[in-house]
Amino acid sequence: MLAQVPQPMTDSSPAAEAARAFGRFRNVHQEFLQDDSKRLVAIEDISFDLKEGTLVSLLGPSGCGKTSFLKIVAGLAEATYGVVEIRGRQVTRPQPDFGFVFQQANLMPWRTVLDNVLFPMEIQRRKDAAAKRRAMELLELVGLAGFENARPSQLSGGMQQRAALCRALVHAPKLLLMDEPFGALDELTRMEMHDLLLEIRRVTNATTLFVTHSISEAVYLSDVIVAFSKRPARIADYIEVDLPYPRTPALRYETAFTDFEHRAGIALGITR
């Protein structure tokens, strides 16, 4: 079955790869040793290319290995074997030009919103006037102007996640890694965040890997959906979502949109 679905292009001639790949993943495989010392295969054999400036979703059911894969790309975990390259370099540890957003905002409650956003610059000893200006611009972009001196507890969940987005972007990362960033938000807030993320992507042009188990979220946001099978994760489908940007909420009700949802649903095995 799996052999028949479209698989991503992975032309391996050096010229083709140099021209194309911002990120290159080849035969990424991960196993964990469990407490009973049995092996658990989380990721089977994942290969695809990530083009610069694109937003690519990793879509799959809970527990299939999405976070495991993202952690490897992030340099937070090591693959058992396989190649993970970003901009021509093997990733072995977290990179300063990566940005992360997780399901929980994880803001530091004792800091102001602005100082939370500036935290990555502080670590990199770049917390200067320019950094502060950029942080303020980002806060404005996400609709948090006027809240820079508030504490996280004074913000709603959606606002906290907006601040977390600013923190991920403050150092102008080349690669943005997002792990179910809107999973804890209510549906309406989540849809607002989708439009916000697309606007941010338009402005910053950051290449983005976005983990989700939501089919509609994946279709709405993505240039490409890499649909993972149940664990162990393999590529069940590689879907180029050629719906034009800017995407607007009305698109969600169009046939072209629901056709992609249907295709993704088939890949996930929840419909035929």
Ligand X SMILES: Nc1ncnc2c1ncn2[C@@H]1O[C@H](COP(=O)(O)OP(=O)(O)O)[C@@H](O)[C@H]1O
In the complex, the residues that contact ligand X under the rule CB under 6 A are 32, 40, 42, 60, 62-68, 231
Terminal alpha carbon distance of the chain: 13
Quick one: 108 exposed, middle or buried, by C-beta within 10 A (0-12, 13-18, 19+)? exposed
Least separation in angstroms between residue 109's CB and ligand X is 26
Residue 232 binds what, of ligand X, Mg ion, none (CB under 5 to 8 Å, by partner type)? none
DSSP states of 79-108: -SEEEEEETTEE--S--TTEEEE-SS----
Radius of gyration of the chain (CA): 19
Does 54 bind Mg ion (CB under 5 A)? Our answer is no
> In terms of CB distance, is 60 or 120 closer to ligand X?
60
In whole angstroms, what is the distance from residue 105 CA to residue 102 CA? 7
> In terms of CB distance, is 168 or 268 closer to ligand X?
268
Per-residue binding string, Mg ion, 63-102, x by CB under 5 A, is ----x-----------------------------------
> In terms of CB distance, is 68 or 204 closer to ligand X?
68
* Residue closest to Mg ion (Cβ): 67
User: Under DSSP, is residue 188 helix (H, G, I), strand (E, B) or coil?
Assistant: helix
Least separation in angstroms between residue 223's CB and Mg ion is 22
**Contact (Cβ atoms closer than 8 angstroms) between residue 135 and residue 169:** no
> In terms of CB distance, is 138 or 211 closer to Mg ion?
211
> In terms of CB distance, is 114 or 177 closer to ligand X?
177
Cα–Cα distances (Å) from 213 to 29, 65, 218, in that order, read 20, 11, 8
Does 57 bind Mg ion (CB under 5 A)? Our answer is no
Q: Using CB under 5 A as the criterion, which residues of the chain lie in contact with Mg ion when the complex forms?
A: 67
